[in-house]
Amino acid sequence: MSFISLSFLLFLGILIILYYALPHKWQWVILLIASYVFYLFAGVKYLAFILFTTITTFLAIRFIDGRNKLQKEQLEKRKEMMSKEAKKAYKKQIKAQNRLVMIICIVLNFGILFFCKACLVEPLHTAFSSNATFSFLTIGLPMGMSFYMFQSIGYLIDVYRGKAEALTNPFKMALFTAFFPQLVQGPISQFNELKDTLFSEHAFDRRQLAFGMQRMLWGFFKKLVIADRIAVAIGTLKGAEYTGISFFVLTVFYAVQIYGDFTGGIDIAIGAAETLGIKLPENFIRPFFSKNIAEYWRRWHITLNEWMKRYIFYPITVSQPMLKLSLKTRSKLGKVGMRIPVYIGSLLTWLATGVWHGFNLHFIVWGLLNCFVIVVSEELAPLYKKFHDKFAFSNKRGYDVWQIIRMFLLMNLIRATDLFNDVGEYFTKLGSLAYQFNFNVLWDGTMMNLGLSVSDYIILGCGVVLMFLVSLFGRSGSVREKMEKWNIVLRYAVIIALLLVVVLFGSYGIGFDASKFIYNQF
Amino acid sequence: MQELLGILEGLHPEVDFNTCTNLVDGKILDSFDIVTIVAEVNATFDVAIPAEELIPENFNSAQALWALIERLDEE
C-alpha cells in the first residue's frame, strides 16, 4: 500500500478510530494487525521475508538473554567457589556463544538482503527471468526490507552489547519490526527510543492528531506538488545531449526532487505515527542549511547514518587490529598515522552505504566521493581555522551563506551519480561543466522542452520558496507550535489552502496513486 | 586526568574541557574526534574502549570519559 493512495488514507482513518475507541490495552495488538494488513498490500509473497527476520532475530535475542541470565545465576551461586580468573573465563565463554549466535543471525538476514539485491542486477536478473526454474528469484526486493532488517539487527546488537532489554513477547518483536509507517522508507528506529512510545497506551489527544495530520499534509505537498512534478524534467535532462549548464540544472532539479520525495515521505511516516500518539525519530534537520559535507550527513537520513556509525564505523575503527595498526602507524607517521583507522573505517562505512543503495558501480562511486570529500575536509580543518582566524570576513553572516551554497552545489554534483547507471556517462557530463558554458539553455527554450509548462515552473518556484521559508521559520522551533499561536482563522486558512494546493496541483498518476518513493527501492 | 585533558585540548584547543559537559550533544566532538580519542587513550593508558561504550554519556565531558577509562581499567 502506497502512502500516496486513497486506500492508505482510508486504512489510517479506520485504524485511528479502532485504536482510540477499543480498550487502550489492545493498542499495540491493533497496531501489529494493522502493520501486517499494510504489509499484505505489498504482496503475500513478501510476508515470508519479514517473518523470517522477526523470528530469527527474536530467537537470537532470547538465546542471548537466556545465556546472560544463566551466567548471572551461576556467578551468584558459585561466587565463593570461583576465582576471579575462572569468572572471567566463564564470562568470556558465554560472550563467545552469544557472539556466534548474533553473527549467524546477522549473516542469515543480510545474506538474504544481499541475495535479493544481487538478483536485481544484470545479468543475473535477465538470466533468472528467462529460466522457468529460477524465475521465482526475480520477485524483487520486498518492501522496506533494508529498513526493517537494519532496525531488527541494530536491536539484536544492542541486546548483545547489554544496551537494550530483551523482549520476551514475540508479538511485540513482530510489531517493533513491522510497525507500518517505517516500512516504506524508514526512519530506522533504535529499540530504546521506540519501545516506550510503541508499546504504551495512548489516550486520544486532539492536538496530537491535528499535528500528525498537518505533518502528513506537508509531506503530501512536498511529494506530490514538488517531487513528482519535477521528476518529468529530470527524466528528460538525463539524456546524453544535455551537458554543461543543462547538467548543472539537472543536479539542482534532482536536489529538489529527492528532498521533496524523501523528506516528504518521512513527514508522512512521522505524521501517521503521531496521529497514533507514537513518536518516531527525525530523519532530517534542514540538511540544505549545512555548511560542510560532514554536517550535511549529520542532518540528512540521520537514522541510517547513525546506524552505520554505531554498527559499522565504530566497531571497525576501535577494533583491536585497528588500534594495533594505529599504534604502529603513529610511531612512523606521527599524528597522521593515528588517523589511519579513521580513514579505513570511513572508507568501509561509505562502501557499505553505497552497496546498501544498490549493487551498481555508480552507488559505490557515490560512496567513495562522499568519503573522499569528508576525509579531505577533516584533514584541512586546521587550515580552515587559520583562514577564519586571519580573515575577519569569514566570520560574518555572508560567509555562512556562501558556505551553505558551496555545500549545496558540491553535494548536488556528488548526488547526481545516482542518476546514471553508466559511471562513464556521469563523469563525461561532470567534465563538461569545466568547458561547456552554454548558459543560453536557460533562455533559448531548452527549459521549455523538458516536459514542464510555464505553470509547472511557477508552481515549482513557489513550492521551493515555500519549503525554504518553512525551513527558515523552523530553525527557531516547531512550525506547528508557532502556528498554534496564530489567530484560528488564519491558521485554518493556511491549512485549507495547503490542502487545496495538494488536491489541485499534486501530480497524480492513474487512479490517484502517485509514483513510488525513491527510497522505497532500497 | 591531566594527560586526558592534554589529549582533548590537542583536538580542540578552543574548548574548556574542565567545565564543558555537552561535548557530544553540543556537537563539539564528532565521530572522527571520538575514534581519535579512543586511539589516543589506548596509546596513552593502554585501555581499549569498545564500540558499545561509544555513547554520548561517556564522551559528553572529560570527567565522564575519565570515569569510563577508570572503570574499563579495573575490569
**Residue A125 confidence (pLDDT) above 70:** no
Over range A354-359, report the average pLDDT: 84
What is the number of domains present in chain A? Answer: 2
Pairwise CB contact (< 8 Å): B51 & A338: no
Residue A335 is predicted with a pLDDT of 72
A371, A393, A421: which is the final residue of a domain?
A421
- Judge if A17 and A132 occupy the same domain: yes
> Computed from CA positions of residues A319, A324, A327, A331, in that sequence, does the dihedral angle turn out positive or negative?
negative
Question: Which stretches of chain B sit within 8 Å of chain A by CB?
Answer: 27, 30-32, 34-36, 38-40, 42-43, 48-52, 54-55
pLDDT band at A518 (very low <50, low <70, confident <90, very high): low
- Find the farthest-apart pair of alpha carbons in chain B and give their distance in angstroms, rounded: 33
pLDDT recorded at residue A516: 67
**Would the pLDDT of A514 be above 60?**
no
Higher pLDDT, A387 or A463: A463
Residue A101 lies in a domain: yes
CB contact under 8 A, B38 and A161: no
Out of A66-70, A87-91, A461-465, least confident range: A87-91
Q: Which of A171, A190, A207 is the last residue of a domain?
A: A207
Question: Measured between alpha carbons, how far is A159 from A513 in angstroms, rounded to an integer?
Answer: 40
The minimal CB distance from A323 to the residues B30, B42, B52 is found for B42
> Which one has a higher pLDDT value, A260 or A142?
A260
Q: What is the pLDDT of residues A447-458, one digit of tens each?
A: 898 889 999 999
The predicted model gives A41-69 an average pLDDT of 92
Helix (H) or strand (E) holding A415: helix A397-415
Q: State whether A326 and B39 contact (CB < 8 Å).
A: yes
Q: How many whole angstroms separate alpha carbon A70 and alpha carbon A52?
A: 27
The pLDDT of residue A9 is 94
Same domain for A193 and A324, yes or no, is no
Considering the entire predicted model, what is its pTM? Answer: 0.88
Question: Do A200 and A340 fall within a single domain?
Answer: no
Give the model confidence (pLDDT) of A407-422 as tens digits.
999 999 999 998 888 8
- Helices A6-21 + A27-40 axis angle, to 10: 160
What is the C-alpha to C-alpha distance for residues A70 and A67, in angstroms, rounded to an integer?
A: 5
From CA A349, how far away is CA A297, in angstroms rounded?
A: 13
Average pLDDT of the segment spanning A204-215: 95
Q: Which range of residues forms the domain containing residue A34?
A: 6-207
Q: What is the pLDDT of residue B69?
A: 94
pLDDT by residue, tens only, chain B of 75 residues:
888 888 898 888 888 888 999 999 998 898 888 988 998 898 888 898 999 999 999 999 999 999 999 999 887
At residue A519, the pLDDT reads: 65
Looking at residue A177, what is its pLDDT?
96
Report the run of H or E that residue A329 belongs to, with start and end: helix A320-333
Mutate to test the interface with B, among A292, A314, A374 (most CBs of B within 10 A): A314
Instruction: Report if residue A518 sits inside a domain.
Output: no
- CA dist., res. A6 & res. A10, Å (int): 6
Among A271, A287, A261, residue whose Cα is nearest residue A471: A287
Is B31 in contact with A163 (Cβ distance < 8 A)? no
**Per-residue pLDDT at A515:** 60
For residue A512, is pLDDT > 60?
A: no
A520 domain residue, yes or no: no
Give the closest-approach CA distance of B18 to chain A in angstroms: 23
Rounded to the nearest integer, the mean pLDDT of chain A is: 89
Query: Are residue A315 and residue A201 in the same domain, yes or no?
Result: no
At A511 the pLDDT is 46
Q: How far is A88 from chain B (nearest CA, A)?
A: 10
pLDDT score recorded for residue A144:
85
Q: Which domain does B70 fall in, by range?
A: 2-74
The number of folded domains in chain B is 1
Q: Which residue has the higher pLDDT, A465 or A512?
A: A465
Question: Domain for residue A15, yes or no?
Answer: yes
**Binary contact (B30, A298; C-beta < 8 A):** yes
- Helix, strand, coil in percent for chain A, rounding step 5: 75, 0, 25
CATH of the domain at B24: 1.10.1200.10
- Identify the weakest region by mean pLDDT among A315-324, A357-366, A376-385, B37-46: A376-385
Spell out the alpha helix ranges (H) of A221-292: 228-237, 245-258, 264-275
- Which of A383, A398, A421 is a domain's end point? A421
- Measured between CA atoms, the residue of chain B closest to residue A328 is B43
**Above pLDDT 90, what percent of chain A?**
59
What residue of B is the nearest CA neighbor of A85?
A: B75
- Average pLDDT estimate for A385-403: 80
| Chain B, nearest residue to A334 by Cα | B40
A270-311: pLDDT as tens digits: 999 999 999 999 999 999 999 988 889 999 999 999 999 999
CB-based contacts of A39, cutoff 8 Å, min separation 6: A46, A47, A50, A143, A178, A180, A183
Residue A455 burial by CB count (10 A; 0-12/13-18/19+): exposed, middle or buried?
exposed
Task: Give the pLDDT band (50/70/90) at residue A239.
Answer: confident
**Under an 8 Å CB criterion, which residues of A touch B?**
161-163, 294, 298, 309-310, 313-315, 317-320, 323, 326-327, 330, 338-339, 341-342, 345-346, 378
